[in-house]
Amino acid sequence: MEKNSALRSPRTLLALLVTVAIVVAALLVVLSQFGGGGGGSSEDVGEFYAGIAQDGTTLGEEDAPVTMYLYEDFQCPFCGQFDREMFPDVVDDYVRDGEVKVVSETMAFLGPDSVTAARAAFAAGEQNRYWPYHTLLFENQGEENSGYVTDDFLRGLAEDTPGLDVHKWEDERAGNSFTQELGTVQAKAQAAGVNSTPTLIVKGPGGQVKIDVLKDYGQITSAIDKVNGS
């Protein structure tokens, strides 16, 4: 009687369950390798930013009606998480079509390594390659103040940044400490009452919204809708 139905045999059923479990676990492992759906590795970074206007620390069309000021620190884990998980959606949903431009405001307050990382990014910004460098810094973020921001680390990222002239970048880094830029951000942050990162300030014709506790993407969507007057 039981021969007719393979599933009636507990051993067959168990073998089937083990197989299913292995397949499901393998699938989870494969999906996990895709990461948080971020800008991805160095090859993808060029592709991701292709066709989007970049001017120093600004990403997107100059005349975009909405501007998002992104207060961040390259060593801040939640900034890294935001950059990997939500920022690609901001770019795809709003920046590409010219609705929003994003201005990175690098606060560099977590430690000396934050300053070093910010200077390296500013130097890339001189060639309008701030954003891919920014993404690579967050993609390769290490533990806060663990000393991972070495010259070799920064140079490696520069070499991975598509379209960046590494020699010019080195010269820029050696010749300019970007003290003025860092000071300007500090003053802006103070004026806007920003005391944690990441903080987003979204400005548009309909006013401004400050997001200092970012929980989900919906907050960004509604802030943009609100300041855009829709």
Q: Which residues bind other proteins (CB under 8 A)?
A: 2, 10-11, 13-14, 17-18, 20-22, 24-25, 28-29, 31-32, 34-38, 77-78, 80-81, 84-85, 139, 143-144, 213-216
In this structure, the number of other CB atoms found within 10 A of the CB of residue 182 comes to 19
Strands (E) located in the chain: 54-55, 58-59, 66-72, 100-106, 199-204, 207-211
Nearer to other proteins, 81 or 176 (CB): 81
Nearer to other proteins, 23 or 187 (CB): 23
Question: Parallel, antiparallel, or unpaired: how do β-strands 100-106 and 66-72 relate?
Answer: parallel
Nearer to other proteins, 167 or 215 (CB): 215
Rounded-to-integer distance, Cα 57 and Cα 60, Å: 10
Q: How far is the CB of 83 from other proteins (least distance, A)?
A: 10
Q: Which two tokens stand for residue 55?
A: 């001017």
DSSP H helical ranges for 50-177: 77-85, 87-90, 112-125, 130-139, 151-160, 166-175
Nearer to other proteins, 109 or 122 (CB): 109
Nearer to other proteins, 30 or 191 (CB): 30
Q: How far is the CB of 13 from other proteins (least distance, A)?
A: 7
User: What is the per-residue DSSP string for 151-176?
Assistant: HHHHHHHHHHSTT--HHHHHHHHHH-
Q: How far is the CB of 107 from other proteins (least distance, A)?
A: 17
Nearer to other proteins, 139 or 172 (CB): 139
Q: How far is the CB of 29 from other proteins (least distance, A)?
A: 5
CA-based nearest residue to 124, from 203, 45, 183, 41: 45
Rounded-to-integer distance, Cα 68 and Cα 209, Å: 9
Q: How far is the CB of 129 from other proteins (least distance, A)?
A: 22
Q: How far is the CB of 173 from other proteins (least distance, A)?
A: 27
